[in-house]
A and B are shown apart, each in its own frame.
Chain A
Amino acid sequence: MPDKPDRNAIEVVNVSKIFGSGEGQVAALDKVSVSIRENEFFTLLGPSGCGKTTLLRLIAGFDFPTAGEILLYGQDIAPLPPFKRPVNTVFQSYALFPHMTVADNIGFGLEMLGKPKGEIKARVAEMLKLVKMEALAGRRTAQISGGQQQRVALARALAPQPKVLLLDEPLSALDYKLRKEMQIELKRLQHETGITFIFVTHDQEEALTMSDRIAVMSSGKILQVGSPWDIYDKPAERFVADFIGETNFLTAAISGVENGKARATLKSGATIEATVAEGFQPKDNATVVVRPEHAKLTKDKGDVSGTVENIVYFGTDTHIHVQLDSGDTFTVRQQNTRSAGCGFERGDKVGILIGNDAAQVLRD
């Protein structure tokens, strides 16, 4: 593939969306800015009501921002109606046209664009092949399964070769196994078509496994944008750390901030090394987070110490909940082996070792 300069497909600039008026007004989006690169699998992740779907609707044109600009390759599309935007959507409910066949559904966008019949036919055939639905081209959409409807919805949205494809929680109606399959399928489609995908989900695992970059949203704001690795291992704020995966929160006195690293002195007196988000200058006291799998349990003295309160077996690993002497709780995740138990029992006095690269200082 030829090297392309990093171009932004979508730039959201200071966009606000206010619903209602006067006392009852609610800001679904509060001065949100984010850039989405060309060819990127970009995910908007957050709990329901965080504004992710609102942002998607503004990009699609189903709603218009109260303030701000939405640029598509530099051109402001915020005031355009949906049928004038080279952007297509895969809806959560699929929204397939029930009175048309699978093939007619897929060809609808091209037909509306006024493409010649021959071109539509060829493109529909190509799309059917891409989503492996050739055999069902003549079926009514009510006569195919949920997973097949999902594929048709994808093909229909991809057929007009949009500049950006928007996906509104498209996997939420599928059962677990099919969802896993479709995650891989979506990744493949994105790779093969080279179209920029903007994917909305509340499922953190889905976001981590599929995305090139993730924007974590809460209460109408984007809290952090980064690669799955960044978001998981270097959460900037408490909400991000808490929403994605499980984590342990510890209060610490911070000193010696330098080159994105700091020394954190825990309540137990132990001092550990912690990473700090770029450009952030922590105060004297801050919260540091440690993922359960980045800490190690020992029967000797650790960085912090406490008593084993509960042991939960998960098959692949075991979660050991420890009541710290400082009063907090701490969970350690330990990989299981076939031959031995976890080596600890309830009531054991234990120490917890926190690795040099395990802790992150939160902006809070």
Chain B
Amino acid sequence: MASNFSIKHQPGFTAIAATCFVVLYLPIIVLVAYAFNAASSTSEWGGFSLRWFQSAYQNTQVIDATLRSFQIGAIAAVLSTIFATMAALATTRTAPYPGLTFKYAAINQPLMVPEIVTGVALLIFFSRIKIFTGYSGLGYLIAAHTAFCIPFAYLPIRARLENMDLTLERAAADLYATPWKTFRRITLPLLWPGILAGLMLAFVISLDDVVITEFVKSGGQDTLPTYMLGQIRRGVTPEINAISTAFLLLSVAIVTLFFFVSRKRD
């Protein structure tokens, strides 16, 4: 009867589940498969080859965009994780007070505001600064990426802090540790897995961004995703498949690492 109810045994469950998996993974499988196509088409199979990987690797624009993506991603991830750690400490190591909910909302703002709106807003805002200062380097992209990565870095750090026993910090203070030493010796070591998880999540989010980057970048500042978008507009070769496949592997690797790091206890 009710105690034996299992959604797995409902009629149609297997069919729906299978459909979901096909819809999710078939396009990716096709994309990956054609990355190894010897022919120049993304729809007609011409035998197995690694030529498009080689072609992508020798394409200086691809390498250039990839290195820029890594550079922006690394700096933005580190900065956003530092800010997120401070925000997480400030919002968890305090008694609840009126306005705290508002602060949560403010920190998570980038999750709620449509990216296109942020993109347009930053475009207008930064163009003023560009005129005013004459500076047009990567700083704008780094600032924008840092801002929208903060909530992603914030979430795992805050989760870790909330699960941490406050008595541990109290015990350290009881054993003559000043607040700074308590932070260095107790809070920070126990927080590390959360910080690493936040760092990796922020890096992946930054690598992946198209919309805001598209609005904020100056000429010659393509990241890998915006470069790919530009290429597709001009007709697709399996080189795009090869780049996508490499990108996919990298993201999967980082997210897997994130999973293991955030699962690690103590």
Contact = CB atoms under 8 A, between A and B. Distances in A.
Secondary structure class of chain B's binding surface, majority of residues: helix
A99 B176 contact: no
Interface residues of B, number: 18
Interface stretch (B1-9, B15-23, B163-171, B230-238): B163-171
13 contacts: A61-B174, A81-B173, A83-B178, A84-B176, A93-B167, A96-B171, A99-B266, A108-B185, A109-B176, A112-B172, A112-B181, A140-B266, A160-B176
A144 interface: no
Contact of B171 (A81, A97, A99): A97
Contacts of B168: 95, 97-98
Contact of A62 (B170, B175, B185, B190): B170
A93 B174 contact: no
B32 interface: no
A93 B175 contact: no
A62 B178 CA distance: 13
Contacts of A83: 173-178
B137 interface: no
Nearest to A109: B175
A272 B165 CA distance: 57
A82 interface: yes
A108 B175 contact: yes
A142 interface: yes
B186 interface: yes
Contact of A88 (B165, B174, B181): B174
Given A89-B171, A108-B172, A95 B177 contact: no
B46 interface: no
Contacts of B266: 98-99, 140, 142
Given A108-B172, A108-B175, A140-B266, 15 more contacts: A81-B173, A83-B177, A83-B178, A87-B174, A88-B175, A91-B170, A95-B165, A98-B190, A99-B190, A99-B266, A108-B185, A142-B266, A157-B174, A157-B175, A160-B175
Interface of B: 165, 167-168, 170-178, 181, 185-186, 189-190, 266
A81 B266 CA distance: 28
Nearest to B167: A95
Contacts of B178: 83, 112
Nearest to A87: B174
Interface centre among A60, A95, A113 (most CB of B within 10 A): A95
A359 B78 CA distance: 75
Contacts of A98: 168, 190, 266
B138 to A, nearest CB: 38
A144 B14 CA distance: 46
Contact of B175 (A84, A140, A142, A156): A156
Given A98-B266, A99-B190, A112 B176 contact: yes
B171 A95 contact: yes
A23 to B, nearest CB: 17
B93 to A, nearest CB: 14
Contacts of A95: 165, 167-168, 170-171
Of A60, A84, A99, A140, most buried by chain B (CB within 10 Å of CB) is: A99
Given A93-B165, A112-B177, A142-B266, A99 B189 contact: yes
Nearest to A92: B167
B174 A89 contact: yes
Contacts of A87: 174
Given A93-B165, A95-B165, A99-B190, A60 B176 contact: no
A84 to B, nearest CB: 8
Interface in A120-169: 140, 142, 156-157, 160
Nearest to B176: A112
Contacts of B172: 97, 108, 112
Interface string A78-122: 000111100111010101111100000000110011000000000
Contact of B174 (A82, A97, A99, A142): A82
B134 to A, nearest CB: 49
